Structure 1
Amino acid sequence: MAVGLIAAAFWAITAVVDTPEDDDDAAAALLSPALNAANWETYPLFLGIASLSFEGVAAMALPIENSMATPAKFPNVLGYAVVLILILNLLFSCVMVVAVSSISDDVPGVITRAMPEGSTISRVVSACLSLELLCTYPGNAIPLFKLLERSTAAGRVFGGMRRLARVTYFSIIRIVVVAFTGVTAFVLADAFDVFLSLVGSVANASVLFVFPGMCFVASSTHEDDKRRYRWAAGLVVAFGLTAAVVGTAIGARTALQGILPAGHSS
């Protein structure tokens, strides 16, 4: 993932540095205060994609905490990690906004499509990002799989089986889910950005923001904690609901009515 991000940032910087000075359109775009780099009509798609981007952080937080020798130190580690992630994302986003500003409001939804077709840098970024998704997606989905495997319905169906048979069936289900996601993404490659936004809005915004806040308020046995964090939990739930409703509505409208050209978004 780091190699892919570094390669993409290198392309973005060179794209800015190599912009011809006599190219009036490119110069005007780079100097524009608004940097016309977004299609504001469908900008809410960003909410879904942003929610999807933080899915890995939330999914891996509890497993990492549980595996630590001293879990009490985890909040400090997580705090430093989040600050570092925000700084890197801010720097990366600023560079990318400048790099694609000359494309105006026709920015490709997948970054590699903004790069020269067939170029080495495009292939390196594609290979690195694909490898990162292939290796991390099954791990990020572990909490969901664990929840389903320990559910009452799963107990009725697989409860009478031997452990080896039960593990085999669960492994097959995991493989099928990951493969189905991959095939769906391949089929919807021309609208991959819309697909990601819908997944982030429908699933991730609800699971990562709405569900935890509601569970905290419902399960906390300490009234002091409830009073102290009630407003914070309410804001998190409100953000999740907003992202889910707005992102899903805009994403569904875009997908069904074809407002955007294939493969393009905000």
Structure 2
Amino acid sequence: MSLLGRDFHSSLDDGSKSLLERNSNVTAENVHPAEEASGLSRMQTLIHLLKCNIGTGLLGLPLAMKNAGLLVGPISLLGIGVLTVHCMVILLNCAHHLSQRWQKTFVNYGEAMMYSLETCPNAWLRTHSVWGRYTVSFLLITTQLGFCSVYFMFMADNLQQMVEEAHMTSNNCQPRKFLVLAPILDIRFYMLTILPFLMLLVFIQNLKLLSIFSSLANITTLGSMALIFEYIVQEIPDPSNLPLMASWKTFLLFFGTAIFTFEGVGMVLPLKNQMRDPQQFPFVLYLGMSLVITLYICLGTLGYMKFGSSTQASITLNLPNCWPYQSVKLLYSIGIFFTYALQFHVPADIILPFAVSQVSERWTLFVDLSVRIALVCLTCVSAILIPRLDLVISFVGSVSSSALALIIPPLLELITFYPEDMSCVTIAKDIMISILGLLGCVFGTYQALYELIQPISHSVANATGVYA
């Protein structure tokens, strides 16, 4: 394990730095200061921040609003967003303080946890401080592979609808009607169809080439979002019959989905470090996250008001069966396909150095490609075993995202600043945020697992593929 700790730190420096400079769709942990005088401008940093927070979780927010209620949902999403941004600021402050204390140019998320534990009053924690770094790295790997599994389901869901409804697709964009259709092919078939193409995609290790795919993904995502908003703002039904508050059980699913959407907590330190003027990063962070939270609330609320009880796991599955809106599914799926390789870089860059170090140079390429194939297959198997997009989003959000976004940052602040006479208000605030995150993690995970083991018909309203 000590070998892993030594190796993955150095191996990520060049790769993650390049990945951040060319694209920030991934949640990279280990990005170190650029040696060149040039850096990211405020506008470039803002674009990167927006990109790393807008993914598939955004499209699941209308169903999240359904799980929370028309009134409780937007208010809760705003509250979670504010808490998440506050925890990002905590992480920035702790990293800055620790870099000065240890005379480091830059510390990443995992290093911040390790260095803070090395100076805490508890002797056992000081001795085992490196496990703080391992824990953060493990959570990043779990979160990113969870994202990749969600991407498999998202692409398969949309591909199934596009293929099996092709003969019914027309130029007349009428609202989608409720019809129970027997799928021609199981959705797992579509997942297996996508698998070999993703295997080939992750073999591309040239980040300059991937940056071309990243640009294409951004263009297709922007175009599809414009078409989605153009549709959901038209002829919104009377929302008075929608519940203002849902049951507490479905609210737990909302919590996991909401946390899942805030994917950028691991990017705040690398982005600040890469800025030309890092002192301006707080302004960029507040502006960018304000735009993100506004987008989340608008899409989630309007989407739920538009589709009501028929809201599905991804809003793209509710769009009319006509060519203009079928193109939305195609465009967004293309964007997600290329984003898969970029999200995949984080777990690969953490795991591969350790795996390659165990073999001779002769077997390096074979082990590298084998590990990449194994990780892609792992995300595919996860998607095949649990083909419920909404529940997997909630599960990944509850387990990993809540720990990275809400639980660890307040604890990090307590450990870092406690020896320096923190105020009682700050201590109480940090404890409350961590407890809230822990409760959401535990109960959200329980509810997601409970729903996952139920028969599909148990919660068909949240299932996909039953509307035509």
Normalising by structure 1, what TM-score? 0.73
- Specify the alignment match of 1:84 in structure 2: 291
**How many angstroms apart in 2 are the aligned matches of 1:37 and 1:100?**
15
**How many angstroms apart in 1 are the aligned matches of 2:275 and 2:367?**
30
Mapped contact 2:407–2:435 kept (Cα < 8 A) = yes
- The 5 A counterparts of 1:128-147 are 128-140=331-343
- Specify the alignment match of 1:256 in structure 2: 453
Change (3 A) 1:247 1:227: same
Mapped contact 2:406–2:434 kept (Cα < 8 A) = yes
Give the aligned CA root-mean-square deviation in angstroms.
Answer: 3.5
- The 5 A counterparts of 1:174-253 are 176-182=374-380, 184-185=382-383, 188-189=386-387, 191-220=388-417, 223-224=420-421, 229-253=426-450
- The 5 A counterparts of 1:90-129 are 90-101=297-308, 104=309, 106-117=310-321, 119-129=322-332
- Specify the alignment match of 1:43 in structure 2: 251
**How many angstroms apart in 1 are the aligned matches of 2:366 and 2:281?**
33
Change (3 A) 1:124 1:39: farther
Change (3 A) 1:185 1:5: farther
Change (3 A) 1:193 1:65: same
- After TM superposition, the structure 1 stretch with the greater mean CA deviation from structure 2, 167-176 or 119-128, is 167-176
| Counterpart AA for 1:10 | E
Change (3 A) 1:160 1:65: farther
**How many angstroms apart in 2 are the aligned matches of 1:69 and 1:130?**
34
SS of 1:260's equivalent? helix
Mapped contact 1:59–1:140 kept (Cα < 8 A) = no
Within the alignment, does 1:14 sit opposite 2:213 as a pair?
no
Q: Shift of residue 229 of structure 1?
A: 3.8
**How many angstroms apart in 2 are the aligned matches of 1:232 and 1:199?**
25
| Counterpart AA for 1:74 | F
- The 5 A counterparts of 1:20-39 are 30-32=238-240, 34-36=241-243
Q: Shift of residue 254 of structure 1?
A: 0.9
**How many angstroms apart in 2 are the aligned matches of 1:222 and 1:167?**
48
Mapped contact 1:220–1:226 kept (Cα < 8 A) = no
Q: Percentage identity across aligned positions?
A: 22
**Matched residue count:** 241
| Counterpart AA for 1:184 | S
Deviations 1:70-124 (Å, cap 9, x if unpaired)?
A: 22221111111111111222222232122012xx3x432222222234x334433
**How many angstroms apart in 2 are the aligned matches of 1:175 and 1:256?**
28
Q: Shift of residue 38 of structure 1?
A: 8.3
**How many angstroms apart in 1 are the aligned matches of 2:271 and 2:365?**
23
**How many angstroms apart in 1 are the aligned matches of 2:371 and 2:413?**
30
Normalising by structure 2, what TM-score? 0.44
Mapped contact 2:233–2:302 kept (Cα < 8 A) = yes
Mapped contact 2:352–2:371 kept (Cα < 8 A) = no
Q: Shift of residue 129 of structure 1?
A: 3.0
- Specify the alignment match of 1:54 in structure 2: 262
Q: Shift of residue 247 of structure 1?
A: 1.2
Q: Shift of residue 54 of structure 1?
A: 0.6
- Specify the alignment match of 1:23 in structure 2: none
Point out where structure 1 has 5 or more consecutive residues left out of the alignment: 17-26
SS of 1:109's equivalent? coil
